[in-house]
């Protein structure tokens, strides 16, 4: 590997190009294997060997690059599939996927499960996993900023229901007409008593990058006090019980605070963030994007700073909560298996075709045809139909297939 890094220091090319994994790949191979003198019929991966080839392809960070690798030749496609490189890329992007026990194509709508001559059940499983994880990785990037909360589940306490209920925190403003819109906890004499707000996200699979919380300023009280918490912490996970409840039952559970922390399993806990005692939407960016498996968010409000003058008790009040990220509602779904956190990833490509442009994530609604074109192309490259290209055997062209970047895909992700 010394030759690889030493060769970069001697180049006079643009420094931004040196950061490209594609450039590192191309330059190292061209220097160490003198590709111009190689036999045009040689196989690039065979010359490099198993370990080095896996190492190099694992440098790629864009799922589109692995799809292009599959399109180079039959041997390259088999290499990517046999070594589960698409799955490894997903695990690198989001370690939470390590709890997946199996992958299911709903009714095998991409390609009916069939065994070709010389095939095996294991090979068919690897091909299926490669297709699903390739689409999954593509769905995870790029992140689209969007409010990902669909409804509240519970609050640990409520002072005056329904006027100060958790549902008010989904409103973007702290006033609706002449009425204040906020959630308020019950009063406590101990300022260290925490409060918890729990929400359901728009999808069971959701990439979360940032949570935003706005404390409430009581503009109708003397001095305009702001009832913020001292700090906030976030948990992501899933429910032990079905959440599809009758409206009356759900309302009753909200009123009587019948949900408890034991009803949920948390797969991620953020660090604590300090909260400013200010009437503004405060943004808490997670250290890294997190894949929420199960679609449940818990907001822990830690510590109290403001007493109410009329009763001398500490309160926490919140006017708005918002989640920034990207929901993966189509074509992916999950089945939670048990309380251990194991789950099944389900892929139904038919739902992708059924969604209209009005249902696309924010920022994508103006390019539906480009998305469908790319999806069709991806399906072809992953084994569901003929691909309109000539199988490339030249090592130099093999390299070019990886180094080159399709401008359409690049533009759609910017």
Euclidean distance between CA atoms 325 and 393, whole angstroms: 41
Q: What angle do CA 258, 264, 266 make, to 5 degrees?
A: 145
Q: What Rg do the C-alpha atoms of the chain give, in angstroms?
A: 26
pLDDT score of 245: 59
Does the structure show a pLDDT above 80 at 142? Answer: no
3-state secondary structure at position 170: helix
Euclidean distance between CA atoms 385 and 124, whole angstroms: 16
Q: Are 300 and 238 in contact (CB under 8 A)?
A: no
Write the CA distances from 397 to 36, 38, 44, 97, 390, integer angstroms.
11, 12, 10, 34, 11
Domain boundaries, given as residue ranges, for the chain: 34-143+332-412, 149-327
pLDDT score of 25: 58
Structure tokens at 137: 């990785």
pLDDT score of 232: 99
pLDDT score of 48: 80
Euclidean distance between CA atoms 201 and 238, whole angstroms: 10
Q: How many CA within 13 A on the CB side of residue 198? A: 24
Beta bridge partners of 147: 324
Structure tokens at 45: 């991966």
Write the CA distances from 386 to 64, 71, 406, integer angstroms.
18, 11, 19
Could you tell me which residue, 348 or 161, shows the higher pLDDT? 161
Euclidean distance between CA atoms 236 and 113, whole angstroms: 35
pLDDT digits (tens, 9 = 90+) for 169-224: 999 988 988 899 999 999 999 999 999 999 999 988 899 999 999 999 999 999 99
pLDDT score of 118: 53
Q: Are 209 and 286 in contact (CB under 8 A)?
A: yes
Q: Which residues contact 372 (CB under 8 A, 6 or more apart)?
A: 353
CB atoms within 10 A of CB 364: 15
pLDDT score of 345: 78
H-helix or E-strand containing 283? Answer: strand 282-293
Euclidean distance between CA atoms 301 and 282, whole angstroms: 13
Whether domain 149-327 has CATH 4.10.80.40: no
Structure tokens at 351: 């739902």
Could you tell me which residue, 37 or 231, shows the higher pLDDT? 231
Whole-number percent of the chain with pLDDT over 70? 62
With CA atoms as reference, report the closest residue to 390 among 379, 399, 398, 378: 398
Q: Which residues contact 73 (CB under 8 A, 6 or more apart)?
A: 43, 391, 392, 393, 398
pLDDT digits (tens, 9 = 90+) for 102-114: 666 655 444 444 4
Q: Are 66 and 89 in contact (CB under 8 A)?
A: yes
The interaxial angle of helices 63-72 and 85-93, nearest 10 deg, is: 170
Euclidean distance between CA atoms 35 and 168, whole angstroms: 64
Could you tell me which residue, 343 or 18, shows the higher pLDDT? 343
Q: Name the range with the highest mean pLDDT among 48-57, 264-273, 356-365.
A: 264-273
pLDDT score of 410: 42
The pLDDT of 107-123, averaged and rounded, is 57
Could you tell me which residue, 25 or 161, shows the higher pLDDT? 161
Euclidean distance between CA atoms 304 and 411, whole angstroms: 47
H-helix or E-strand containing 332? Answer: strand 332-336
Q: How many CA within 13 A on the CB side of residue 359? A: 11
With CA atoms as reference, report the closest residue to 392 among 36, 72, 79: 72
């Amino acid at each position: 590997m010394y030759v690889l890094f030493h060769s970069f220091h001697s180049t006079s090319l643009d420094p931004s190009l040196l950061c490209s994994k594609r450039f590192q790949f191309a330059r190292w191979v061209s220097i160490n294997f003198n590709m111009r003198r190689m036999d045009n019929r040689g196989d690039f991966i065979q010359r490099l060997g198993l370990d080095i080839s896996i190492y190099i392809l694992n440098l790629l960070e864009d799922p589109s690059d692995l799809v292009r690798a599959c399109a180079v030749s039959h041997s390259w496609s088999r290499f990517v599939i046999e070594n589960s490189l698409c799955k490894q890329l997903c695990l690198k992007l989001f370690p939470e996927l390590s709890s997946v026990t199996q992958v299911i194509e709903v009714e095998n709508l991409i390609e009916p499960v069939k065994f070709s001559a010389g095939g095996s059940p294991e090979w068919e499983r690897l091909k299926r996993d490669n297709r699903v994880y390739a689409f999954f990785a593509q769905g995870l990037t790029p992140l689209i900023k969007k409010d990902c909360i669909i409804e509240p589940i519970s609050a640990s306490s409520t002072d005056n229901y329904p006027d100060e209920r958790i549902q008010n925190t989904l409103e973007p403003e702290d006033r609706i007409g002449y009425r204040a819109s906020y959630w308020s906890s019950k009063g406590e004499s101990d300022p260290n008593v925490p409060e918890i707000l729990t929400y359901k996200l728009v999808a069971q699979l959701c990439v979360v990058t940032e949570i935003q919380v706005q404390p409430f300023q009581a503009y109708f009280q003397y001095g305009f006090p702001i009832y913020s918490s001292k700090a906030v912490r976030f948990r992501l996970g899933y429910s032990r019980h079905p959440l599809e409840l009758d409206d009356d039952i759900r309302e009753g559970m909200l009123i009587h605070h019948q949900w408890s922390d034991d009803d949920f399993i948390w797969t991620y806990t953020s660090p604590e963030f300090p909260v400013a005692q200010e009437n503004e939407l405060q943004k808490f960016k997670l250290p890294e994007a997190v894949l929420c498996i199960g679609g449940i968010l818990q907001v822990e409000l830690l510590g109290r700073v403001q007493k109410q003058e009329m009763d001398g008790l500490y309160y926490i009040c919140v006017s708005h909560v918002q989640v920034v990220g990207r929901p993966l509602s189509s074509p992916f779904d999950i089945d939670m298996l048990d309380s251990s956190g194991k789950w099944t990833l389900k892929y139904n490509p038919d739902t992708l075709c059924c969604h209209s442009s009005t249902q696309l994530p924010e920022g994508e609604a103006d390019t539906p045809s480009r998305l469908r074109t790319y999806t069709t192309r991806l399906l072809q490259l992953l084994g569901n139909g003929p691909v309109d290209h000539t199988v490339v055997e030249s090592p130099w062209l093999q390299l070019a297939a990886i180094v080159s970047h399709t401008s359409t895909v690049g533009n759609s992700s910017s």
